[in-house]
Each structure stands twice: as structure tokens, then as C-alpha cells.
Chain A
Amino acid sequence: MKDEMQIYKKERKEGACIKFFRVLSLLLAFSVFSFVFSLFLTNFVSAEVNYCCEKTLTGAWCQNAPQEQCDSNFKMAPTSCESTSYCKPGCCFDSIEGLCMESTPQRVCSANGGTWSNDSKCNIPQCTLGCCILADQGAFVTLTRCKQLAGFYGLIADFRRNIANEVECIATAQGADKGACVTYDENLGKNTCKFTTREQCKKPMILEGASVNETLAFANSSKPAPSGFYKGILCSAEELGTECGPSTKTTIIEGKDEVYFTDTCGNIANIYDASRYNDKEYWKKVFKKSESCGYGSSNAGSKTCGNCDYYLGSIAKKATRATGTPTYGNYICVDLSCKKEGKRHGESWCVYDTPSGDSKDPVGSRYFKAVCLNNEVIVEPCADFRNEICIEEKFGGFSEAACRVNRWQDCMQQEEKADCENKDVRDCKWIEGYYFSTQSGQIEKSINETEAKKRGVQQTPTGLCVPYYPPGFVFWGSQGGAAGQTGVQKAPGTFNATTPAFKAQTPVFGTGYVNPSTSSDVASATSQCSSGNAKLTVKFKKTKYPLKIFGTRETAWHCDESFGNCQYLTEEDERNANISVESAKKWAEDMNEICYSLGDCGGYINWLGVRTEDGYAAYQNGKRILGAGGAEILEKEKKTTQQSTAQSQGATSGVTGKFIVDLIKKLGGN
């Protein structure tokens, strides 16, 4: 922040600045949010790392890492880097450029020739920011930086400590007095003139405090007009009696948006307005931007008006055949919008490579933010593994988007619908009828109050809270994307992952299944997906039918509605008091839907639309009925088959499969 925009600032109108800062503050808010959120999460981070390596084997300075990753030629201590003298982050002051670099270890700072101090946030006198006014431009920088900039441009450094923020600084710089600096040239026998600032003119101001008209009247009263600085007056004003007059030439100024007329001496005059070329008044005094032609619109492509505005979508550039030619001069306001996409300059919007949200994000999918700037669409991917999502809002037809943290982490802990769907706190979705049992560690059917009383058990949550934007996991065996091997995204739709999740991996485990022996990331995916394990229990009871004519009272099996899950059964299932394979499949499919809403789990499509069934397996009476299962599941299945003779029919399959375990219990009853 301290260093924000430390270079000479571009002059901008106040409104534009406010808009910019609105955008900036929005972005900042997200940054701060994610930062705070991360700090919150940090509390849950276990202290696995316990060494401070002055340098790691990969060349990183001052990292907290396991001892074996420290370079033995450098210092190391079994503590956090914050607690060491050699790696404590501080402020590195660059006394040449006047820059203050935060979170720099002393060793790194000294090695680079900087001056180190203890405060990592750079709250030191050398880093105190102030307003550096250089001619009509302002920069909110350090004193040293101000002097350095002034030296570059051959200007006098005007550093004002009393100005406390950047907006005020720019406004102050913009408000610097500008006018005609008139000098009597003895050789020419007449006045010469330069349009500049009061400071640059270095001549006394004519009629301090007088209005422009009064100053002009004063200049007109004596021939030639006395030497001095004429605030708000152009060199082309006849009253000054200079050699400068109106011209049809125009120019552009570095750091400004508009096209300007120049006088015959090459001085900057007012904003280009073809209709006022013959207006003597327009060549006398300085007109503000707001008093110039087409104020409030971009004037893109206008042949007669050069009042361009970057924030409204135009900037002054050299005219070409494509831009059209202006009535006078060679410069024109160029349109900066992205016509092909139908977006205005500065607009940002979300881009998806697949359908998103509602717990249906495909594996490997990602959110992107696109921005239209200078006729170009720049695509910024949000964090991978759907750690970030893209949000978008429209303000008067102008869309603004941002990548923000996906708050899915505590969804599974929510037991109330209102808490689950509280959008201010988390991004979750409520699924009625099931809950996550902490006892069994799997998804079970909810037990309502009536049922709980009847069965003498505890009531359970009425629904299951799952991520609205399911997170992505590293599930393909080893941690993907180690430095130097990461996938490179070009643009939505052309994402080219060099370590793809769904391309040839041997063995291909598919969604949700991981090899837990690799990394903790992978182990996390395993445990996260195992929350999707489920068991189907149906209660059948024998019911006596009413007497048939000429018949006897008959009894038949029926699904116990009060116990639930009857929706999965057919009439035949009920008659036979058994779950058919088809019914079990139907249930398994429902469970799979819940499973893939937890993250990259279960059987689901990837971002290319290819479906894999490897991430889950459904069993009925020890026989796999759905899903290809992962290697571990298959291995277990093999063992189960071998042991099947030793097991009683209808008992648990014995498969502690990762996702779906099918179990039918005939509970019987009357």
C-alpha cells in the first residue's frame, strides 16, 4: 500500500478517482477479507514445520520448513523465522529510489544494499508518505522518492507532509495554478510566452487574487503587457501582446486523456473543440474540462471534440483511417470498448468453463474473471481447485466482477438450514432428508421428531449442508502442480493443464479416490470424500390385508413408511421384501449426487464433460452394482469375494468402500 503508485501520477479528474478508488476499495476489501479469513484458518493449522531455514535447498530465503529442506551451508534454528534474528521480517529501505519494501529479512535486505529496520510494515520515518507535487502532477510517496523523481524530471521537489492521502494529493497537484508566463524579449522587442505552472514560471503573479477578466483588462491596459505570471490565461490571449496566436494544430499530453489545441508558439491551449476554433474567448482563458465540449461522455470518434475520458472509455491517440480523422489536427478520442464482446472499457465479468454453482461444478473446472481494458479482454483465472469463485454485479448496466474466496469449509458442520444457507457467512446448499452422522462417519437418513420418539432414538438434523461450489481436490496420487510443473491456462475454453486430473494417470483412480500414502493434500481429499459414504436401510413389516371375498386374511411385506427410504422401492420389492438391483441403483445414483457435491468426489463429469465412474462403488449383498470404484475399493472387493462364504448372507458387505456401501437389512416385524 505504501508503495502504491509511487511513480509520477497521472492527473485524473476527481470523479474518476472516486470511481477508481471505489473499485480499488472493493478489491482491497476482498483482499483483506481473504487475508483475515486465512488468518482465521491459520488457527487450525497444525505446527508441522518447526525449523527456520535461512535458505532452503531450492534457494528460497527465510522459510519455515522441515529441517531436511534447509540448506546446511546457512543458518537454521528449530523455531519460527519470526523469532530468529537472521530471518525476522523487517522493512528494507532503498535509499536511492526511496522505496520501502515490506517483510524483508535482514540478510536479504543487506545483501541487496538496502537499509533494514525492525518494522515489517515499514512504519518508520524514512517511509512516511507525503504528497510530492511535481509541476501539475502529484505522487503520494516518501521524501527520498520525491527528490529522486524531481531529479529525473529536472523539477523542484515540493513535498507536503500535511497531505494525508493520495486522492487529496492528486487533487492538490491538479489545482496548481497554471497560466501564461510572459517575458519581455529585448531583442525581439516584444513579449514571449510559455504556458506553465506558477512555480515553473518563477515570475511574480500579476494581480494576485484578481479574476481572469480583471487580469486580462490589466494586461490590455499597458502595451506590451508587463512580464509576469498571468493565472488562468492562455498565451494566445491578444491582451498579452505575445507572438502566440490560435492554430489548428492539436496535441496530446503524457498522462492526460484529452486532445489539446496548441497555439502558434507550441504552447498547450484548451481542449480541442472544432466549433470554438474561431471563438476568441476560447483562446484567451483556460476552460476547465467540465466547461469543455462533450463533458460527461467519452466523445470516442468525435471529429470535433477532443474531451476524451479514460474512465468513460476513450483516450486521445493519433488518428488513423480506422479511427476517422478530426476536423483539425491529427489526434482524436479513440474508443476503448471491446466491441466483439459487447463490453465497455473497464467492465469486468465472470467467465466459466463449465456450468457452475448449485453443487454441480465439474471436476477440474475453474472460475475466471474477464476485464475489458483498452479494446482488449484480459482473462484472470481465480484460484485453482475452486478455492476462489467469481462474483459479478451490475451497476447501471456496468458489470463489475471479482474473484473471491469460496467459503465451503464449514458447510458439513451446519445442522440448521438457516445457518447453512446464510450467504453472508458461507457458500453452502441444504439437502433435505439426509444428514452426516459423526458417529458412523457417513451420510444417513434423517430421523424426525416423531420417528425419533417412536424408535426411542435421538432426533437428527433434517438435512445435509454441502458446498454450493464444491471444492477441487488433489486426488491423483501425488501433489500436482509442484513448482515448475503447473498447468498453464490461456483462456476459458482453452485451458491446457499439463498435469491434468483426468488424463492418463496410472492407475487412474478417478474422482474422489486417492492414494492416501502420498501427501497430506491427498489424504485430505480421501477424508473429505469419505464423508459421502452412505448406507441404505429399509424396514419391511408384515401387514395383514383386509379379508378378501371368499378368501382368508392374507399377510404381505410392506415398506415401513415411518422408517423411510420407501421411495426407492418398487411394488415388487415390497412384495419380496427385498431391494432389487434397479432400486438400489436408483438410490446409489442419488447418493452419488450428494457425494460429488462435497468436492471432487464420486462419479461425475470433468470440465471437459467426460464422465468417470471410478470414484465410487455401490454394493448390494457384497456384489458391486454401480460405479467402477478406486483401486482400494477393488482390492477390498477382491478380499470380500474370497471371504464371502464365511459371511452370512445379507450381512454387511464387509466393504469399507470409499463412498457408497450398500446394506439391506430385513428387520422384519409385524
Chain B
Amino acid sequence: MFKRSKKIGKRSQITVFVIIAIVIVIAILGVIFYPNIRKFIAPTIADFMPNECIEENVKEVMNETFMKGGLMKPELYFMYNNETLGYLCYTSEWYKTCIMQIPMLKQTIESEIEKNSEARISKCVDDMKKGLENRGYSLKVSGSEKASIDIVPEKVIVSLDMAMTVEKGDEKQTIPISKFKTEFKSNAYEMIMVASSIQNWEARYGDSAPESYMAFYPNLKVEKIKQDDGTKVYIITDRNTGEKLQFAIRSLSWPPGLAIPTTKVV
């Protein structure tokens, strides 16, 4: 009898421990996932804001643009690792320095990202509107959903020139333009400036010195890979963020042997 009650006591003790463990695990998960749970159970207007969606999409477009030398569909390109790298400076001739093809790289990249993320950003905004409308809000939108991209030191700013008034019963809230501004950390500016400097070096001297850039910017890795047609593939990598900007340049190229043609395949 005594033995049995001792056994039952042990069992119940274990059960209590298991229950406590489960409660602890649930509590921890609750703390971790609270924001998501709260968003699901009782979302606020802020939870519908498109900033996260915009950041994700713009980052994707930007990375793709960077992998292609600044243009999503470059007309003049060099095929490298199945990627079409746009020529920033190019000459079809041998022994000649290059002619600038994209002189204002930063602006070109900004407008390219704007153009190619427009549809995605619109979708982010539409999702926000639908989400709010489904929750019974009526919306009044002013301004344009068109985004502008600014690449500045250490970050990228995506601004939507729009404001919104949200109404539901007595509740009325105005979302100002500033709330539609998305910022994310990026070293794109520094990388573009280095690329512009390389363009100028190539246009003037026909070559550049990657080590000098790496000496000044320890966080950047600059690779120059010479191809057999005289094209140089440049890859600028940020060691901290992993961002990569690659492009092609053809300048002061030498033909194989003693050939004296002035033009390569254009």
C-alpha cells in the first residue's frame, strides 16, 4: 500500500515537471513570437505598413541590378558566370582607352531600381490597402505610389510620395508621407563610388589598381579578372554586408600575338 502510494507520488511529480516544462516552452515561444501572434490576433494599422515588403523587394532588385553592372537588361554586356555584365566603359578597338558608357552610375542604378521595383512596390502598397480594407477601414490616399530610390552613404532610402487617411467608425488616423519612407542598411553608395573611380582610371590610363581601393576601404574586396578578349570583369564585394557589385570594362586591350586589327567583334 505504502509502496504503491510512493509510486503514484513519483508519477505525479514527473507529470508536474512535464507540465512545468511545457508551460516554460510555451512561454518562451510566446515571448519570441509575440509580435507575430499579436499581429495575427489584434493587428494595428502599423502592422499593415508596406515598409518591410518594400525593403525586401527593393533589396532583391538592387542585388540583381548590382550583379549585372547597373542595368537589368544591359544592351552591351559581357557574359560572365551566366550573368550579363554591363560594360561601364568600353572600346571595341585594340590599344585604345575606353569610352564611357554609363557616366552617372549612381543615378543610373537608382533609376533602374526604381523602374524594376515599381510593380513590386505597388503590390506591397496594394496588399496594405487590401489588408486594411478587409479589416473594415476605409482609405483615402493622396499623392503617388511611385517610389524614389536614394542611395546614400551606409543606407538606401525608398520614399513613396503618398499619404493616407484611414477611417473606421470613430477611429480616424492619418499616415503621413514620412511613414512611407523605408530605409535599410547598405554599403551600395561606397561600392558605386569605387566603381565610378575605376571607370575614370580605366578611361584615362586603361587600367586600375584594385589594391589601392582595398587599402583605403578595408571592408571592400575589389577583384579584377582579365578575360581573353581584353575585357576586365570587376567584382566589388563588401566584406561586412556581403553585397556584390560586378561590371565589365574593356579598355587598352591587347590582341593576341602581333595582330594589328583595330576592331574586335563589336
- The answer to the question of B259 belonging to the interface, with a C-beta cut-off of 8 Å to chain A, is yes
- The answer to the question of A654 belonging to the interface, with a C-beta cut-off of 8 Å to chain B, is no
Q: Is the CB of A60 within 8 A of B223?
A: no
Q: Is the CB of A112 within 8 A of B107?
A: yes
Q: What is the bound-complex CA distance between A520 and B103, given in angstroms? A: 33
B250 to chain A: closest residue by CB: A483
Residues of B within 8 A of A102 (CB): 100, 200, 203-204
Residues of A within 8 A of B218 (CB): 310, 315, 374
Residues of A within 8 A of B163 (CB): none
Q: What is the bound-complex CA distance between A451 and B189, given in angstroms? A: 73
B227 to chain A: closest residue by CB: A486
- The answer to the question of B9 belonging to the interface, with a C-beta cut-off of 8 Å to chain A, is no
Residues of B within 8 A of A521 (CB): 255-257, 259, 261
Interface string of A500-528 (1 = CB under 8 A from B): 00000000000000000001110111011
B52-60, B72-80, B114-122: which lies at the interface: B72-80
- The answer to the question of B179 belonging to the interface, with a C-beta cut-off of 8 Å to chain A, is no
A642: min CB distance to chain B, Å: 34
Q: Is the CB of B102 within 8 A of A112?
A: yes
Interface string of B76-100 (1 = CB under 8 A from A): 1111110000010111111111111
- The answer to the question of A31 belonging to the interface, with a C-beta cut-off of 8 Å to chain B, is yes
- The answer to the question of B51 belonging to the interface, with a C-beta cut-off of 8 Å to chain A, is no
Count the B residues whose beta carbon is within 8 Å of the partner chain — how many?
80
Interface string of B98-132 (1 = CB under 8 A from A): 11111110111000000000000000000000000
Q: What is the bound-complex CA distance between A489 and B203, given in angstroms? A: 25
- The answer to the question of A425 belonging to the interface, with a C-beta cut-off of 8 Å to chain B, is no
A109: min CB distance to chain B, Å: 6
Given contacts A38-B206, A104-B103, A486-B78, is CB(A48)–CB(B261) below 8 Å? Answer: yes
Q: What is the bound-complex CA distance between A498 and B154, given in angstroms? A: 38
- The answer to the question of B42 belonging to the interface, with a C-beta cut-off of 8 Å to chain A, is no
Given contacts A374-B218, A524-B260, is CB(A4)–CB(B201) below 8 Å? Answer: yes
Given contacts A7-B193, A481-B227, is CB(A373)–CB(B211) below 8 Å? Answer: yes
Q: Is the CB of B226 within 8 A of A383?
A: yes
A39-47, A426-434, A657-665: which lies at the interface: A39-47
Residues of A within 8 A of B226 (CB): 380-384, 388
Q: Which of B74, B102, B260 contacts A44 (CB under 8 A)?
A: B260
Q: Which of B75, B79, B201 contacts A484 (CB under 8 A)?
A: B79
Q: Is the CB of B254 within 8 A of A6?
A: no
- The answer to the question of A105 belonging to the interface, with a C-beta cut-off of 8 Å to chain B, is yes
Residues of A within 8 A of B101 (CB): 60-61, 108
Interface string of B249-266 (1 = CB under 8 A from A): 000101111111111111
B103: min CB distance to chain A, Å: 4
Q: Is the CB of A378 within 8 A of B76?
A: no
Given contacts A7-B190, A94-B107, A113-B104, is CB(A474)–CB(B257) below 8 Å? Answer: yes
Residues of A within 8 A of B261 (CB): 48, 519-521
How large, as a class, is the contact surface on chain A? 35 or more
Q: Is the CB of A46 within 8 A of B100?
A: no
Residues of A within 8 A of B106 (CB): 94, 97
Q: What is the bound-complex CA distance between A45 and B254, given in angstroms? A: 12
Residues of A within 8 A of B263 (CB): 48-49, 64-66, 69
Residues of A within 8 A of B223 (CB): 378, 380
- The answer to the question of B229 belonging to the interface, with a C-beta cut-off of 8 Å to chain A, is yes
- The answer to the question of B159 belonging to the interface, with a C-beta cut-off of 8 Å to chain A, is no
Between A and B, how many residue pairs show CB distances below 8 Å? 288
Q: Which of A59, A480, A524 contacts B258 (CB under 8 A)?
A: A524
Q: Which of A7, A471, A485 contacts B257 (CB under 8 A)?
A: A471
Residues of A within 8 A of B252 (CB): 34-35, 38
Given contacts A45-B95, A108-B101, A480-B228, is CB(A520)–CB(B259) below 8 Å? Answer: yes
Residues of A within 8 A of B254 (CB): 38, 383, 385, 387, 405
- The answer to the question of B152 belonging to the interface, with a C-beta cut-off of 8 Å to chain A, is yes
Q: Is the CB of B215 within 8 A of A20?
A: yes
**Which residues 23-69 of A have a CB within 8 angstroms of B?**
23-24, 27-28, 30-32, 34-35, 38-39, 41-42, 44-49, 56-66, 69
B106: min CB distance to chain A, Å: 6
Q: What is the bound-complex CA distance between A101 and B90, given in angstroms? A: 14
- The answer to the question of B138 belonging to the interface, with a C-beta cut-off of 8 Å to chain A, is no
Q: Is the CB of B92 within 8 A of A63?
A: yes
B206 to chain A: closest residue by CB: A35
Q: Is the CB of A479 within 8 A of B95?
A: no
B122: min CB distance to chain A, Å: 25
Residues of B within 8 A of A547 (CB): none
- The answer to the question of B225 belonging to the interface, with a C-beta cut-off of 8 Å to chain A, is yes
A607: min CB distance to chain B, Å: 13
- The answer to the question of B217 belonging to the interface, with a C-beta cut-off of 8 Å to chain A, is yes
- The answer to the question of B181 belonging to the interface, with a C-beta cut-off of 8 Å to chain A, is no
Q: Is the CB of A89 within 8 A of B211?
A: no
Q: Is the CB of A20 within 8 A of B212?
A: yes
Question: 14 more A-B contacts (CB under 8 A) besides A5-B212, A520-B259, A528-B257?
Answer: A28-B209, A38-B254, A48-B261, A61-B99, A63-B90, A66-B263, A87-B99, A96-B107, A101-B196, A104-B99, A121-B204, A310-B218, A524-B260, A525-B259
Listed by A's residue number, 7 A-B pairs whose Cβ atoms lie within 8 Å are A59-B76, A100-B200, A104-B100, A483-B231, A521-B255, A521-B259, A524-B257
A residues at B contact (CB < 8 Å): 1-10, 20, 23-24, 27-28, 30-32, 34-35, 38-39, 41-42, 44-49, 56-66, 69, 81, 87, 89, 92, 94, 96-97, 99-105, 108-109, 112-114, 121, 152-153, 310-311, 315, 346, 348, 371, 373-374, 376, 378, 380-385, 387-388, 405, 409, 471-474, 479-489, 497, 499, 519-521, 523-525, 527-528, 599
* A-B pairs with lowest CB-CB distance, top 8: A59-B75, A484-B79, A481-B228, A385-B256, A524-B259, A59-B76, A101-B103, A104-B100
B residues at A contact (CB < 8 Å): 74-81, 87, 89-104, 106-108, 152-153, 189-190, 193-194, 196-197, 199-201, 203-218, 221, 223-231, 239, 252, 254-266
